[in-house]
Every structure is written in structure tokens, then in C-alpha cells.
Structure 1
Amino acid sequence: MIVAAKRMHQISEYFFSKKMKEIQNLEKDGLKIINLGIGNPDLLPPSGVIQKMKQASELRNANTYQSYIGIETLRNAISNWYKKIYQVDVDPKNEILPLMGSKEGIMHISMSYLDQGDEVLIPDPGYPTYSSISKLLKAKIIYYDLYEDENWLPRLENLPKAKIMWINYPHMPTGATISFEELEKIVLFAKKNHVLLVHDNPYSLILNKKRSFSIFNVKGAKDIALELNSLSKSYNMPGWRVGMIIGKKKFIQNILKIKSQMDSGMYYPIQIGAIEAMNHDSKWVEKLNIEYLKRRKIIWDICDFFNLKYSRNSSGIFVWAKITDLENNDCIWSDKVLKTYHIFVTPGRVFGHNGKGYVRFSMCCPVKILEQAKNRIFS
């Protein structure tokens, strides 16, 4: 009998993987499900990106293995982008590691710095992948609580020491933003306690009323911090799998030891497309946000119909809402909406204990589809 590794008992299939199977089965039975659960941008990348990729795919060496650290022009483009967006200087030679999506970066960083039994600080609510990978590596997870009445910010005075601390602002799933002063406090905590601070930062350009912060806007943060970023949300390129780790040379070199064992470099035309995307100016982001404003307004209308409580100051591609009907928990509420209206909304407990009683709506549906969802509910 062939037995799976014991580590497999620490995790289950990703929630959205299982849920998509359920939705597919419902659609096989003739139901048309509107999916407002997953953050999968449906819009096209900036004009010219796909054309650049097509042209690059016809080059003689396009299909060969690529460098593990990405082509030089991609790293230069990332460096220029960080300067343009965040006013941060990044050395393209030593401080950038392109990724096939930032999700793999979570694994690479964790494998590089977590031994069995090492403690890792993970936000609750937070991105489930932080926990899953830590469990696979048999690290000791210490969840730190985030609460709505504290703007989903950590209570630093209550945090113990750990090897790694994950933070994520604008925050997923709540959309909460962070001030520069609060970011400084977290960096100071990490410095005092010799914690590797990892800022997961893919949502900073979407509906963010404040300045877009990088962890490296804080003086001295490079000594103890890494930052993950991605083009998936900002440039509608989720399936392209283009991400990056930013950090000092020593950190990048360690992570590269892991990454170079896991893949053989990013497809050359995708790198060329990514360069073209990052070369676009702020008008692209402004146009994207105008579209998301239209979508968010419809979701707010739906939330108002259900008497859900939500913040009008959140950012990112989701609306995080609290159920005010105490008779329903978030799973029951989500299942009821799916059964009654054939609309899928994510229950908040997927993101941790403190997500219970909340639900998350995705804005990754065209206005026309969101209007259909609204009409189903209002009729």
C-alpha cells in the first residue's frame, strides 16, 4: 500500500479548488452560477502587451530555457517601476528576483528561512496560503488577531518573537490600508526582535485612496524585510504568472537557491509582455480604477439589500462585508445565497477565525454580469 506523506494530513485541498468543482457540477445540472467569490481579474492587460508577447514568441530563442533571475531588461523594468510607483530605489542586479506569480514566492521564502518548529506570525484573517505552506514545512504557526474596530492592524505589543512575520497591506481579504506611521511601527518591531518581515503587496494600485506604500519606504527596512509583488491584479495578468521578490542581496541569494531547484525560468515572451505592462503610465491605472468603481457600486447595492455592513474606504478588488443577521453564520449565509440566487460569495471563515461572520465579494465580473446578479436578488 502506497501511503501519502504525513505532512499531507496538515492541509486540505484549497477551498476555492473544491468550490469550483461544486459550481461546475451545479452548472452541469443546468444552473447558471454567477461567481463573485474569486479574485480572478477578467479584464485585458494594457494595450500592446499581448502584441509584444506575440512578437517575442516568434524569436529564435523564445522557447529556450531562461535565466532563473529573469532577463536583465525585466529586472530593469521592475526597478524602474518601483521607483515610479513607490519612490523606492531597487538594485536590478542584486535586489530583484522575478517569480512565476507571487504565490510561489511564499513557498520559496518559507523554504529558505523556516526549519521544522520555527515560529511564524500569520494574520487572522489572512491569505490561507501563508498557513498551508507553514504547515507543510512543520513550522509553528502563531496567528495574530486583526479586528475591524482596529482597522485590521496588528497589536504589536502582544506579539511574540518569531522567525518570519507575514503582513499584507492593502489587506486581503478586508481591503484595509495602512498608514506610513503604522508601517514604521511594524518595521521597528521586526528590527527589535530580529524577525524576517515579509510584506505581500499585490493590491496597492487598486482603489487605493492613499499613497501606494512599499515596505521599503520605511528607512532601514531592507535590513529585515522582503516584499512580494505581482502584475496579476494591477495589470490584469493573473494567468501569466508574473511576480517578484524585492529585498537585499543576501536574502535574494538564499531564496534563489530554492527557486533554482523548482523551475527553469519564466517564458521569454511573458517577460517581454511584463516589461510592456510596467512601462504604462498612471493613466492606465486610473482607467482600471474607474471600471472597478462602477463594479464596486453595484456590489455595495447588493450589500445594502442584505443589510451587510462594509467599509467605503477599503481598497483592492474585493468588498468585505459583515453579516448583521446573527441567526446566520457566514457559511450558512453563503450557501443560502448560492442555493436561492445561484450566486457564489466567499464565506469569511476561509481566511481565519476572525473572518467568521463576514463574507467577501469579488469585483472580477463585468458590470453586465454584476447587474444580472443584482437583478436576481432584487426581483
Structure 2
Amino acid sequence: MIEQANRLNKVQEYYFSTKLQEVRSLAASGKDIINLGIGSPDLPPPPQVIEALNLALTNTGAHQYQPYRGTLDFRNAIKEFYKNHYRVDLNAETEIVPLMGSKEGITHISMAFLNEGDEVLIPNPGYPTYTSVTNLVGAKPVYYNLKEETNWSPDLEEIESRDLSKVKLMWVNYPHMPTGASANETIFEELVAFARRNKILIVNDNPYSFILNDSPRSILEAEGAKEVVLELNSLSKSFNMAGWRVGMVCGNEKNLNTILKVKTNLDSGMFYPLQAGASAALRLPASWFTSLNKIYAGRKQKILKLAKALGCMPGKDQSGMFVWAKVPEGETSEGFVNNLLYTHSIFIAPGFIFGDQGEGYVRFSLCATGDVIDRAIQRIDR
């Protein structure tokens, strides 16, 4: 038998990969499972996007290799999007690189900047992929705790009291997943100053800024941010295009050229019609988000009702497509989730998978119709 690479010894299969197999097995056995655990939009992309995709299929050269940096039109669409919605000026030639989903960017950035033994600051709770990829490249995860009483914001004073001499990279994620916390008016400026003082590259993972959020922000708005910051963004959530795998990384030319050394050796460019459809999405008026959020707002009210029926306590002022809530006193997140699954055939995500600071919480997804959520409420009421 050929043994697996040592780099996999610290990496587990993604929780949802294994848990959803269990959920599917229960469904196959005849259980009517209501899945409120996954943030995969169930709504369709905008019709203009589908139209642009279909039209691009007949374009001369559509099926050939595409530029590693993406088409100029796609990069210009990203530039316009950042200017219109975030008030950030980007150079389409040098400060934008399209990605096959922002998750790809986490790996590319880590491979581009981290050596074995480098340390990486990772939010706790936070997206598990930050830790997995850090381990895969041989770097060391170093966690900074986020707490509900401080609205899940990093305590930079506490972090700076540590030995940061080996820290090279810091992941931040606002609006935050899984808690739904938004960045306040000063946190991005404080993070940029922190990065300068400590010579750390900060990456803001920003796919949720238009979901139930009245004030979309980019860390690149902060003065001087491009020198010490990168930002990942995605069309998955804001435009219901998760399966398309379309995202971007933005920052200064030097950092992006470093990332391209990795990316150009791992793929051969994004399918042209996907880029054409993505360009159409990014140029939609703000009314698209208004109509989308009207649907999510209605669903959120029903999820809050479900959480209350379960004895859970949601936090306040949450953005994004999830509701983050405390489980009843004395319960563990995993025990609560499993009991809900096996007793009521309802699946939600346990908070422990996002780090030990997530223990005692659960995450409900808004990616289900109001009728489905009503069925879940009826099961609990019965």
C-alpha cells in the first residue's frame, strides 16, 4: 500500500463532505430530511447572467484556452463593481486576478507566501479551510479568539502582546462567517495599521457583503491598504452562482504577480462563457440586491421563529445568509445538532466545526424556501 503524504496527517476531510453523506443516507432510507445546514443558494442567478452565458457560447474562440488573468472585459467589470459598490479604485491591468472561486484563492495565497514553519493568524470561530490549507502547506495555525461580547471583532491589542515574529499572514473575514458580524467603521483601518507595524499580509475574505447588509465594505477602502492587504471576493452568494466557481483576488501588482506564479501552474484559465456571465452579474444595478435581500429577510424571520422554538438564542445585527445562535444551556453543539437530525430530521451546522469558540452555538442556513422552513417549525411545534 502507498501511504498518504505527511501533509495530510494534520488535515481531516471537510466536515460537510462526511456529514452530508450521512444526511443523504438518512434520506435514502426514507427520512424526509430538511437541510438547513449548507450555505448553497437555492435561488437562480439573474436572468441577464444566463443570457450572457448562452450568447458567449457561440463566440469565436469561446472554447479555447483563456488568459490566465481573465478577459479584460471581466477584469473591467470587477473594477466597475468595486468602484460602484465599495468606492475602491482598482487598476484592471495590474490589481485584479479572477479566480475559480475564492476558496481556490485561499490555497493559492497560502502557497505563494507561506514557507514551512511560518505562522498564520486565523479567526476562532472561522472558516475551517483557513486551518486546513495552512496545515497543507506546512505552516502553523495560530488562533485569535473572537467573542460575542465584542461583536466577534479581533482584539488587536491582545494579539500584538504575543510574539508575532514568525507570523506572515492573517486571515480576516467580514461580514464574518459563521457569526454574521459586520466590520465596524474603524476595524479595517486598525487592521491595516496593525499589518504595517508587524509586517504581516492581511487577507480579507469578503463573499457575504451584500447579503442582508446595508453597508457593504471592502478592506481596500482603508488608506494605504493595498500595500499590506489582499481581498478575496466571490459571486457565489451575492448572485446565486456558487456552482459556477467564480471569484477574484484584488491587491497590489507585486502580490498578485506572486500569486500568479502559483495559479498559472495549476489551471489554464476560466471558461470564457463563465467570465461573460460573471461580467453581466457584476454590472447589474443595486436593485438586484434589494430584491434578493427581500427574500432572505422573509426567510430570516422564519428561521428566528424556528430558533426560538428550539430554545436557541440568535445574536443581533447579523449579516449574510446564516443565523448564528446559542444552544440551550447544558447542550453541546454536536449533541444538539445530532438530536435535531435523528429526532426531527432537520439538519443544521454545529458551531464546534468553526473552532472551539464556536462550541455552544449552531448555524442555520437561509438557503431554503419559506415553505421548507415552515415545515421545520411545524415539526418542532408538534
The answer to whether the superposition gives a TM-score over 0.5 is: yes
Superposition pairs of residues 299-338 of structure 1, within 5 angstroms: 299-326=303-330, 328-338=331-341
Q: Distance in 2 between matches of 1:200 and 1:332?
A: 30
Question: Is 2:262 aligned against 1:258?
Answer: yes
Q: How many residues align?
A: 377
Q: Letter of the aligned partner of 2:346 in structure 1?
A: I
**Aligned residue number for residue 342 of structure 2:** 339
Asked whether the equivalents of residues 71 and 275 of structure 2 are also in contact (C-alpha less than 8 Å), the reply is yes
Cα offset, 1:324, TM superposition: 2.6
**Aligned residue number for residue 173 of structure 1:** 178
Question: Is 2:241 aligned against 1:241?
Answer: no
Asked whether the equivalents of residues 309 and 377 of structure 2 are also in contact (C-alpha less than 8 Å), the reply is no
**Aligned residue number for residue 56 of structure 1:** 56
Cα offset, 1:311, TM superposition: 2.0
Q: Distance in 2 between matches of 1:248 and 1:180?
A: 23
Equivalent position to 1:272, from 262, 276, 282: 276
Q: Letter of the aligned partner of 1:355 in structure 2?
A: G
**Aligned residue number for residue 302 of structure 2:** 298
Q: Distance in 2 between matches of 1:33 and 1:375?
A: 14
* SS of equivalent residue, structure 2 residue 248: strand
Cα offset, 1:377, TM superposition: 1.4
Asked whether the equivalents of residues 180 and 213 of structure 1 are also in contact (C-alpha less than 8 Å), the reply is no
- TM-score normalised by L of structure 2: 0.97
Question: Is 2:362 aligned against 1:359?
Answer: yes
Q: Which runs of 4+ in 1 moved over 3 A?
A: none
Asked whether the equivalents of residues 122 and 170 of structure 2 are also in contact (C-alpha less than 8 Å), the reply is yes
* SS of equivalent residue, structure 1 residue 7: helix
Superposition pairs of residues 1-379 of structure 1, within 5 angstroms: 1-159=1-159, 160=162, 161=164, 162-209=167-214, 211-326=215-330, 328-379=331-382
Q: Distance in 2 between matches of 1:329 and 1:218?
A: 39
Asked whether the equivalents of residues 34 and 345 of structure 2 are also in contact (C-alpha less than 8 Å), the reply is yes
Q: Distance in 2 between matches of 1:129 and 1:233?
A: 17
Cα offset, 1:63, TM superposition: 1.1
* SS of equivalent residue, structure 2 residue 94: coil
> Percent identical across equivalent pairs?
48
Q: Distance in 2 between matches of 1:117 and 1:31?
A: 47
Cα offset, 1:312, TM superposition: 3.2
Cα offset, 1:121, TM superposition: 0.2
Q: Distance in 2 between matches of 1:282 and 1:48?
A: 14
- TM-score normalised by L of structure 1: 0.98
Could you say what the CA RMSD is over the residues aligned between the two structures, in angstroms?
Answer: 0.8
- Stretches of structure 2 that go unaligned for 5 or more consecutive residues are none
Asked whether the equivalents of residues 69 and 265 of structure 1 are also in contact (C-alpha less than 8 Å), the reply is yes
Q: Letter of the aligned partner of 2:244 in structure 1?
A: W
Q: Letter of the aligned partner of 2:198 in structure 1?
A: N
Q: Letter of the aligned partner of 1:264 in structure 2?
A: S
* SS of equivalent residue, structure 2 residue 97: strand
Q: Distance in 1 between matches of 2:90 and 2:301?
A: 37
* SS of equivalent residue, structure 2 residue 120: strand
Q: Letter of the aligned partner of 1:26 in structure 2?
A: L
Further displaced range: 156-165 or 266-275: 156-165
**1:211-265 Cα deviation digits (max 9, x unpaired):** 2111111000111000000000000000001100000000000000100011111
Further displaced range: 52-61 or 267-276: 52-61
Q: Letter of the aligned partner of 2:125 in structure 1?
A: P
- Stretches of structure 1 that go unaligned for 5 or more consecutive residues are none
Asked whether the equivalents of residues 53 and 272 of structure 1 are also in contact (C-alpha less than 8 Å), the reply is yes
Cα offset, 1:47, TM superposition: 2.0
Q: Distance in 2 between matches of 1:375 and 1:53?
A: 40
Q: Distance in 2 between matches of 1:45 and 1:149?
A: 37
Q: Letter of the aligned partner of 1:108 in structure 2?
A: H
